[in-house]
A and B are shown apart, each in its own frame.
Chain A
Amino acid sequence: MKIVVGHLFPDYLNIYADRGNMAVLDRRAAWRGHELEVRPLGPGAEIRPGEHDLYYVGGGQDREQELIAPALAAMGDALREAVAGGAAALAVCGGYQLLGRFYRDQSGDELPGARLLPLHTVAGKQRMIGDVLLECELEPGKKRTLAGFENHAGRTHLDDGAEPLGRVLAGFGNDGASGHEGCRAGRVIGTYLHGPLLPRNPWLADWLLSQALAHRTGELPKLEPLPDELEAEAHAVSAARARSRGGRY
């Protein structure tokens, strides 16, 4: 089966090894006999809802985010329609911030967001930098951890009733205070975790692939398990780092 990924602004938003996430999706699809086709969506690209099974938005530095925020916000209506039709999305760091309502920088200027996630972000003085570990429960009763690295000045505030991606076990998370990290709205996931995220957290890569395949075929597939010893070892080291030296106030 072919899975079509819409990679939003890959030339601008790619700072924290986002291509590692793409490589993991690509290989793990291929090992199950599926083909991942990645279509770059840059400035001026048109989003036709239904065309893409999964969207990916990476992280960028402030300058890159400023350069593309208006173009990404302008795609908001089409992206929301695509997601309402069952497409999945993963947004990391700067991309996560830009999927909210707005990002307000330190001088008070606001960058518009694409409004896929019920949140907004306000820049703080102190950057939140360090290893981080979360506990997630994307499916009821199935608790799993995500290990990564965060580096952000923005404090992200979820709307009342919004679902965080996970509970912070070690590290700062969305704002260093709420104990929450990331945001999940149906098949859309936003997070500050890079490192990159997917190589050492392959269960999330498989969850995203499953959602993308469900969008394509209409039913949730059963992905066969893969030998993930190296992934588990990398996860364990990263998780231990977060526990021993994750950021805290």
Chain B
Amino acid sequence: MSRGSVPVVRLPLPLSAEILLARGTAGLSRVLGTGGGTTVPGKLLWKLDPGAVDRLAARLPHGSALVSATNGKTTTAAMVARILGPSRRLAHNHSGANLVSGVASALLAARDADLGLFEVDEAALPEVARRLRPRALSLGNLFRDQLDRYGELELLAERWRETARELPPEATLVVNGDDPQVGDLARERPGSTVFGLDDPRHASTELQHAADSKWCVRCGTPYAYSAAYIGHLGDYRCEACGHRRPPLDVLARAIELNGLESVSFELVTPEGTRRVDLAVPGLYNVYNALAAASLARALGSSVDSIQAGLQGFSAAFGRFERIAIGDRSLLVLLIKNPAGANEVVRTLVAGGAPRLLLVALNDEIADGRDVSWIWDVDFEPLLEGLDRLIAGGERAAELALRFKYAGLPADAIEVIPSLEEGLDRALALMSPGSELVALPTYTAMLGLRDLVGRRGFVKPYWEEAA
């Protein structure tokens, strides 16, 4: 080396300095009013040193557990958090920031956590799993969702297959056996936990329009369903090659649906059977509860603590959330894809379909820029008894067309793109003591929550406990 030349060495910041710097930005993000700081610190850490995420996760004494699915990620993870709450200090991305940056932010925020619990975006799962080396992974379902972002379903399923193959050998894989593509992942991995429903009384005989994986994953023949529960989820078999639902390890039977209020079922596990009364409604929440129970079981929870946790669960962020607004209340049900929205509709109708409805359709990246999915939702059952629709959000007119061509008279539809004006109009139409049902897409849900937050009816999401 000649005199005067200085070797260029990039001095890595110590992890602790990176953490301090990144954490500081969360406060800044809130002070600036730009959000909850749920992704900004993680994004900064990510920029500073992508490997820091791996090292932060490796510090957790009890490791990490991941939850992914098209529908039910946030609720399933919130249920697991409730089950584990008494015994673990969690790092948990409870407000749904589920890309690598959201996971990194949750790791940064939970200083003394001993277990990581993360819901993970379907497309981000391969990378998050590679970095976190989870000890348990729950895969719930794959439905058509945001094809503009994820591409086709088959590609996603193939990436999940690779992720399952590359899990650490000691990790537990939990899969929904009722979803043909997801359930098939258990075949390659002995010791996987398979969950599903076993109550054909609640099955429909026909597949819904939004059913996706209708063809045998091996030979392409249409599956025969002895029970179809939600979309293509059910008890299927291929009459050509014999591919069928794998045997269930954790299942729900004797399900009692109680309209908009609740659902109860018998939870059957290898360690015992318990009756579970959930305070959230619908078959889809039974699936979420089964995924949560299976994952908690993989993390060492007893059947009794699983039962207690599930029964103590109320609602996850923006999913079936009731907010009191003076003498009225607002019921927020997130809609984001056909299969999920169909279940929201089915549950609403079972509880007595509303006469006034606020539906808000945005088309930001987080909602999906392609709004064609609303035409695949079975909104029709809501039309009976519906007097007035407030169509809101950036694509309010498109939504209005969906209902117009479903048969709702045009004079029963009000197009109000502004969320604030739409909410106020709906509240003005309500009688005291009544409840407004709102079906927003993701960013519209954030917008509505922000509105009622500014009016003092709900805490900002970053201040809420998990």
Contacts and interface: CB of A to CB of B under 8 A. Distances in A.
A49 to B, nearest CB: 28
B262 interface: no
Contact of B410 (A64, A199, A227, A245): A227
B373 interface: yes
A194 B372 CA distance: 7
Q: Name the residue among A27, A230, A238 with the largest chain B CB count within 10 angstroms.
A: A230
Contacts of B400: 230, 234
Candidate in B209, B373, B375 with the most chain A CB atoms within 10 angstroms: B375
Contact of A11 (B214, B220, B397): B214
Interface stretch (B166-174, B401-409, B428-436, B439-447): B401-409
B387 interface: no
Contacts of A19: 209, 375-376
B398 interface: yes
A200 B398 contact: yes
Contacts of B397: 230, 233-234, 236-237
B374 interface: yes
A196 B400 CA distance: 14
Given A17-B372, A195-B370, A23 B405 contact: yes
| Interface of chain B, main secondary structure | helix
Interface string A223-246: 000010011011011100100010
B395 A20 contact: no
A130 interface: yes
B375 A238 contact: no
B214 A17 contact: no
A234 B209 contact: no
Contacts, number: 92
A20 B372 contact: yes
A196 B215 contact: no
A61 B152 contact: yes
Interface string A165-202: 00000000000000000000000000000111001100
Contacts of A16: 147, 370, 372
26 contacts: A11-B222, A17-B372, A17-B375, A19-B209, A19-B375, A19-B376, A20-B402, A23-B375, A23-B405, A63-B154, A63-B215, A64-B215, A129-B370, A130-B148, A131-B369, A149-B369, A151-B148, A194-B372, A199-B401, A199-B405, A227-B410, A230-B400, A234-B397, A234-B400, A237-B394, A238-B398
Interface of B: 144, 147-148, 151-154, 209, 214-215, 220, 222, 363, 369-376, 394-395, 397-398, 400-402, 404-407, 410, 413, 415
Interface of A: 11, 14-17, 19-20, 23-24, 27, 61-64, 67, 127, 129-131, 149, 151, 194-196, 199-200, 227, 230-231, 233-234, 236-238, 241, 245
